[in-house]
Structure 1
Amino acid sequence: MLLLGIDIGTSSIKVSVVDAASQTAIASAQYPDNESPILAPQPGWAEQSPDMWWQQVQHAIELCNNSGKYNPHDISAIGIAYQMHGLVLVNKDQHVLRNSIIWCDSRAVEIGNKALTAIGEKKCLRHLLNSPGNFTASKLAWVKENEPEIYDQIDKIMLPGDFISMKLTGEINTSVSALSEGIFYDFKSDKLSKDVLDYFGFNKTFFPAIQPVFSSHGTLLRSVAEKLRLKAGIPITYKAGDQPNNALSLNVLNPGEVAATAGTSGVIYGVSDQLTYDPQSRVNTFAHVNYAEEQKRLGVLLCINGTGRLYSWVRSLYGPSLSFAQMNEKATEAPSGCYGLRILPFGNGVERMLANKPIGAHIQNIDLNIHSQSHIFRAVQEGIACAFRYGLDIMRENGMNPSVIRAGKANLFMSDLFTEIFVNATGVPVELYKNDGSAGAALGAGIGSGIFATAAEAFSKMKKIKTVEPANTKFEPIYQDWKNLLKTQLEKTNQ
Structure 2
Amino acid sequence: MYFLGIDLGSSSIKLSVFEADKQKEICAITVPEFETKIDSPKMGWGEQNPNLWWEYIKDGIQQLKKKHGVVTENIKGIGIAYQMHGLVLVDSNLEPVRPAIIWCDGRAAEIGRQYYQLIGEEVCQSQILGSPGNFTASKLKWVQENQPEVFSKASYMMLPGDFIAAKLTGVAQTSTSGLSEAALWNFKENRPAIEILQAMGISDEVIPEVVETFGHHAKVDVTIAKQLGINNKAMVTYRAGDQPNNAMSLSALKPGEVVANAGTSAVVYAVTNTNAYDKNNKVNTFLHVNNSIEEKRNGVLLCVNGSGILYQWLRKLLSVGKKEMVSYELLNSMASQAKVGSKGLRFYPFGNGVERIFNNKEVNSGIENLNFNIHQPEDLVRAACEGIVFAMNYGFDVIKSIGVSGDIVKASHANLFLSPVFRSIFANTSQTALELYKTSGAEGAARGAAYGWGYFNTLEEAFSNLNIIEHIEPDLKLSKQYQDIYQNWKKHIKIQDNNYEYDNITSLL
TM interval, short-chain normalised = over 0.9
Give the Cα–Cα distance (whole angstroms) in 2 for the partners of residues 69 and 98 of structure 1. 36
Partner of 2:379: 375
1:484 is displaced (CA, Å) by: 1.5
Between 1:1-10 and 1:190-199, the stretch displaced more is: 190-199
Partner of 1:108: 108
User: 1:356 is matched with which residue: 354, 360, 363?
Assistant: 360
Whether the 8 Å CA contact 2:91–2:153 is kept in 1: the answer is yes
Partner of 1:82: 82
Whether the 8 Å CA contact 2:194–2:204 is kept in 1: the answer is no
1:245 corresponds to 2:245: yes
Whether the 8 Å CA contact 1:27–1:69 is kept in 2: the answer is no
Partner of 2:91: 91
Pairwise mapping of residues 73-472 of structure 1 onto structure 2 (< 5 A)?
Answer: 73-319=73-319, 321-471=325-475, 472=478
Partner of 2:507: none
Whether the 8 Å CA contact 1:344–1:486 is kept in 2: the answer is no
Amino acid at match of 2:483: E
Give the Cα–Cα distance (whole angstroms) in 1 for the partners of residues 68 and 140 of structure 2. 43
Amino acid at match of 2:24: T
Between 1:461-470 and 1:217-226, the stretch displaced more is: 217-226
1:365 is displaced (CA, Å) by: 1.1
* 3-state SS in 1 of match to 2:492: helix
Task: Count matched residues.
Answer: 495
Give the Cα–Cα distance (whole angstroms) in 1 for the partners of residues 109 and 71 of structure 2. 48
5+ unaligned residues in a row in structure 2: which ranges?
A: 505-509
Computed over aligned residues only, the root mean square deviation of the Cα atoms, in angstroms, reads: 1.3
User: 1:480 is matched with which residue: 479, 482, 487?
Assistant: 487
Whether the 8 Å CA contact 2:385–2:422 is kept in 1: the answer is yes
Q: Deviations over 1:427-485 (max 9, x none)?
A: 11111000111110000000001100000000111111111111112111110111123
Give the Cα–Cα distance (whole angstroms) in 2 for the partners of residues 8 and 33 of structure 1. 14
1:94 is displaced (CA, Å) by: 1.4
Amino acid at match of 1:481: N
Whether the 8 Å CA contact 1:6–1:441 is kept in 2: the answer is yes
Give the Cα–Cα distance (whole angstroms) in 2 for the partners of residues 486 and 128 of structure 1. 27
* 3-state SS in 2 of match to 1:420: helix
Give the Cα–Cα distance (whole angstroms) in 1 for the partners of residues 71 and 502 of structure 2. 56
Amino acid at match of 1:71: V
Give the Cα–Cα distance (whole angstroms) in 2 for the partners of residues 334 and 120 of structure 1. 49
1:195 is displaced (CA, Å) by: 2.4
1:488 is displaced (CA, Å) by: 4.5
1:27 is displaced (CA, Å) by: 1.1
* 3-state SS in 1 of match to 2:215: coil
1:493 is displaced (CA, Å) by: 3.5
Between 1:355-364 and 1:97-106, the stretch displaced more is: 355-364
Amino acid at match of 1:33: E
Give the Cα–Cα distance (whole angstroms) in 2 for the partners of residues 366 and 493 of structure 1. 18
Amino acid at match of 1:299: G
Amino acid at match of 1:90: V
Amino acid at match of 1:361: S
Give the Cα–Cα distance (whole angstroms) in 2 for the partners of residues 354 and 365 of structure 1. 23
Whether the 8 Å CA contact 1:341–1:379 is kept in 2: the answer is yes
Q: Deviations over 1:264-288 (max 9, x none)?
A: 0111111111111100111000011
Q: Deviations over 1:365-404 (max 9, x none)?
A: 1111121111111110000011111111111111122200
Partner of 1:57: 57
Q: Deviations over 1:275-303 (max 9, x none)?
A: 11100111000011111223211011111
Between 1:415-424 and 1:65-74, the stretch displaced more is: 65-74
Amino acid at match of 2:500: E
1:314 is displaced (CA, Å) by: 1.3
TM-score scaled to structure 1, two decimals?
A: 0.98
1:10 is displaced (CA, Å) by: 0.5
Amino acid at match of 1:464: I
1:140 is displaced (CA, Å) by: 0.3
Whether the 8 Å CA contact 1:357–1:493 is kept in 2: the answer is no
Whether the 8 Å CA contact 2:347–2:383 is kept in 1: the answer is yes
* 3-state SS in 2 of match to 1:53: helix
Whether the 8 Å CA contact 1:22–1:461 is kept in 2: the answer is no
* 3-state SS in 2 of match to 1:332: helix
Between 1:310-319 and 1:176-185, the stretch displaced more is: 310-319
Partner of 1:4: 4
Amino acid at match of 1:476: Q
* 3-state SS in 2 of match to 1:347: coil
Amino acid at match of 2:64: C
Whether the 8 Å CA contact 2:198–2:204 is kept in 1: the answer is no
Amino acid at match of 1:430: L
* 3-state SS in 1 of match to 2:501: helix
* 3-state SS in 1 of match to 2:27: strand
TM-score scaled to structure 2, two decimals?
A: 0.95
Give the Cα–Cα distance (whole angstroms) in 2 for the partners of residues 180 and 301 of structure 1. 12
Whether the 8 Å CA contact 2:353–2:363 is kept in 1: the answer is no
Amino acid at match of 1:474: Q
Between 1:355-364 and 1:135-144, the stretch displaced more is: 355-364
Identical residues among aligned pairs (%): 44
